[in-house]
Chain A
Amino acid sequence: MRTKDQTISLWLAPVTAAVLLLAFCLFRGFLPPLSPAMSAEAVASFYKENAGWIRLSMVIMNLWGIMLIPFYMVIVIQMKRMATPSHVFAYAYLGAASGGGALLALANLFWLMAAFRPDRGAELIQLLNDLGWMTFTAPIGMIVAQNVTLALAILMDARPQPVFPRWVAHYSIVTGILIAPGALAMVYQSGPFAWDGLFAFWIRNSAFALYIAVMFFVVRAAIRQQAVEEGVPA
């Protein structure tokens, strides 16, 4: 019984991923990503021309973007099953995940605000666009902290059969490293570390997406293992 809600939350992850991917593709400003070097007029005309798609994609993201939280909480529950000395890492993971969700919600709102009055002054639209991108790309600390605390917990899991296999710890750290350059979007306005650059956009987002996909299978296995241990049908 205790695994049913976990299984549902688990399956919310691919659903959420599909929805977010759809929103991502619809946004027009993601593929390819808007450049920080665009002039205010160019940004304003972009929002004017694509207002409809921006609103649609961002509303979708707004509605569904936070839906990864139940999935993260399943990970928290699984972390609590680990034989670590205490649950401090699980709580750190929880705290970090909450912080991250708020950031996505805010970034999303900035873009929607930018698209609301396309005939607002160009500089104002550019400002809102800047705020949206900066909020979306740069504050990677929450995700990195999540990955690091998960990795530490896995490495300290003293169960004969660990809840998550050891490689997940290393994979989490690597993902964290790949996501971390997003912070450099605060420093660079062009090049690979700008918010449209190779590291801060393409690698960061791909690594994140891949991580969710991989964790789906890892968590699924862990839930199954829990069901077996507790003697209930998964």
Chain B
Amino acid sequence: MSATMMDVSARLASAMPTPAPKAHIQYRRNSKLDQWICFWSIPVFYVFFGLVFVCLTRTMPPPSANVSQAGAISFFQSVAGVTNTHIGFALLVFSLGFYAMNNALVVVQMKRMEGVSQAMAYAYIVVLSLGALPGCMFIAIVYSVAAMRPDRDPQLVSMLYDMGMLSYVGSLGCFVAQYVVFVIAVLLDKRRIFPKWIAYFSIWVIFTEILAGPIFAFKTGPFAWDGAISFWLGTVVWVFWQFSFTICLYKAIKRQPLDEVVPA
């Protein structure tokens, strides 16, 4: 990484025996600077994510599913008091687009796989681009609307309260598809761009999506949107997976030979 930093600031071009690249951001020929820029956007994004959902908007851990209309209203009042919902979700919509960099990295690595068609890479980016709206953007929009008029009809506020959490915790299919595509690609890949164990671990997160299905039937208990199994265990497993996945991605980029030509 330090070598890459040097490239950006210093003009090494004239020192190189090969014809100097004329890029505005100088990088050593065949470096992986663009991938590293995208990679390091990942922890930045997750810091934003944690800040927004945990601290500012207080939607993680989720508010109770078992509230009356008054309860829903008081939730929005409690987080809107310091304009947290507003600022929180404004930050989220600003930063969510950068998740595309994360997905693009995985696509580039999946395209390096051998024995796997590029359909898997394209499927991966498509399902995650699709999932961004119902799974993440929707709650931001709906909760901002819910919080903007304190004198709105309680029935409507309660409905918006439900809409937000149900969409956020209950968006399942896009992510199941993401994991399934990933598992298939990793297990079929002869080059072992990603290690086998991350494919096995991905089975767990597929199950956490399945076990989030019951949130549409329960308002209390372990399968409510704030339940011990549907939310808490699911989130713990997911965080563990995401951490492992990011490490595998890091290693995959690091091990990528500099002179490799990835199919377009």
Q: Do they bind each other?
A: yes
Report whether A91 and B108 are in contact in the complex, using a CB–CB cutoff of 8 Å: yes
Residues of B within 8 A of A191 (CB): none
Report which of A152, A187, A188 forms a contact with B37, defined as CB distance below 8 A: A152
Report whether A134 and B145 are in contact in the complex, using a CB–CB cutoff of 8 Å: yes
Report whether A102 and B262 are in contact in the complex, using a CB–CB cutoff of 8 Å: no
Report whether B38 and A87 are in contact in the complex, using a CB–CB cutoff of 8 Å: no
Bound-complex Cα distance A200 to B195 (A): 46
Residues of B within 8 A of A142 (CB): 96-97, 100
Report whether B149 and A92 are in contact in the complex, using a CB–CB cutoff of 8 Å: no
Known: A134-B141, A156-B23. A88 touches B96 (CB 8 A): no
Bound-complex Cα distance A1 to B217 (A): 55
Residues of B within 8 A of A36 (CB): 148
Select the stretch in B121-129, B181-189, B233-241 that faces chain A.
B121-129
Known: A96-B100, A145-B98, A155-B24. A138 touches B144 (CB 8 A): yes
Say yes or no: is B190 at the interface (Cβ < 8 Å to chain A): no
Q: Which residue of B lies closest to A77 (CB)?
A: B264
Residues of A within 8 A of B119 (CB): none
Known: A144-B97, A166-B24. A123 touches B152 (CB 8 A): yes
Report whether B97 and A141 are in contact in the complex, using a CB–CB cutoff of 8 Å: yes
Report which of A96, A123, A130, A157 forms a contact with B23, defined as CB distance below 8 A: A157
Residues of B within 8 A of A140 (CB): 93-94
Say yes or no: is A99 at the interface (Cβ < 8 Å to chain B): yes
Q: Mark A128-155, 1 if CB is under 8 A from B, else 0.
A: 0011001100111111111011001111
Say yes or no: is B132 at the interface (Cβ < 8 Å to chain A): yes
Known: A86-B35, A127-B145. A186 touches B27 (CB 8 A): no
Say yes or no: is B177 at the interface (Cβ < 8 Å to chain A): no
Bound-complex Cα distance A95 to B101 (A): 8
Select the stretch in B59-67, B83-91, B204-212 that faces chain A.
B83-91
Bound-complex Cα distance A141 to B99 (A): 10
Report whether A187 and B83 are in contact in the complex, using a CB–CB cutoff of 8 Å: yes
Bound-complex Cα distance A152 to B25 (A): 9
Q: Which residue of B lies closest to A194 (CB)?
A: B148
Residues of A within 8 A of B262 (CB): 86-87
Residues of B within 8 A of A134 (CB): 141, 144-145
Say yes or no: is B198 at the interface (Cβ < 8 Å to chain A): no
Q: Mark B66-88, 1 if CB is under 8 A from A, else 0.
A: 00000000000000000100110
Known: A80-B264, A135-B141. A92 touches B21 (CB 8 A): no
Report which of B38, B90, B132, B142 forms a contact with A92, defined as CB distance below 8 A: B38
Report whether B34 and A86 are in contact in the complex, using a CB–CB cutoff of 8 Å: yes
Query: Nearest-CB distance from A234 to chain B (Å)?
Result: 21
Say yes or no: is A160 at the interface (Cβ < 8 Å to chain B): yes
Say yes or no: is B113 at the interface (Cβ < 8 Å to chain A): no
Residues of A within 8 A of B92 (CB): 141
Bound-complex Cα distance A65 to B152 (A): 31
Residues of B within 8 A of A160 (CB): 22
Known: A92-B101, A98-B130. A139 touches B83 (CB 8 A): no
Query: Nearest-CB distance from B71 to chain A (Å)?
Result: 19
Bound-complex Cα distance A76 to B87 (A): 32
Residues of A within 8 A of B86 (CB): 186-188
Q: Mark B93-113, 1 if CB is under 8 A from A, else 0.
A: 111111111011101100000
Bound-complex Cα distance A114 to B130 (A): 25
Report which of A95, A135, A155 forms a contact with B103, defined as CB distance below 8 A: A95
Report whether A95 and B125 are in contact in the complex, using a CB–CB cutoff of 8 Å: yes
Query: Which A85-132 residues sit within 8 Å CB-CB of chain B?
Result: 85-96, 98-99, 102-103, 106, 123-124, 127, 130-131
Q: Can you report 20 A-B residue pairs in the complex whose CB atoms are below 8 A from each other?
A: A87-B262, A88-B35, A91-B104, A103-B133, A131-B145, A138-B90, A139-B93, A139-B140, A140-B93, A141-B95, A141-B98, A148-B98, A155-B23, A156-B27, A157-B23, A158-B21, A180-B94, A186-B87, A186-B90, A186-B140
**Extra pairs beyond A91-B107, A95-B103, A186-B90 (14, CB < 8 Å):** A88-B107, A92-B100, A94-B129, A95-B99, A123-B153, A134-B141, A139-B93, A141-B98, A149-B100, A155-B25, A156-B25, A160-B22, A186-B144, A187-B90
